Amino acid sequence: MSEKNDKTINFWIHALSAIHVGTGKGAGYIDLPISREKVTNWPYIPGSTIKGVIADYYDASDSGDRREKDKKKKAAFGIAGDNNSSAGSLVFTDARIVCLPVQSLYGTFAWCTSELVLRSLSRDLEWGKLCLEEEIPVAPENKVLVIEGSSLIEKSNKKIYLQELDMDTQICEKTERLAEKIANLVFPDDEEWIKIFKERFTILPENVFNYFSEMGTQVEAKIRIDPDTKVVDKKQGGLWYQEALPAETILTGMVWCDKVYEENIQAKELTDKYCTGKKTIQIGGKNTTGQGRITLSFMEAKNKKED
Alpha helices in 35-172 (DSSP H): 47-57, 66-69, 71-77, 115-127
**pLDDT tens-place string over residues 66-105:** 666 788 888 898 887 656 677 789 999 999 999 999 999 9
189 — pLDDT class (breaks 50, 70, 90): confident
Query: Using an 8 Å Cβ cutoff, are 270 and 76 in contact?
Result: yes
CB 267 within 8 A of CB 4: yes
Average pLDDT over residues 128-144: 84
- Which pTM does this prediction carry? 0.89
For 254-284, the pLDDT digits (tens) are 999 988 888 888 888 999 999 999 999 999 9
Which has the higher per-residue pLDDT, 221 or 198?
A: 198
Mean residue pLDDT across the chain? 87
Q: Which helix (H) or strand (E) holds 179?
A: helix 173-186
* Neighbour-count burial of 149, counting CB atoms closer than 10 A to its CB (0-12 exposed, 13-18 middle, 19+ buried): exposed
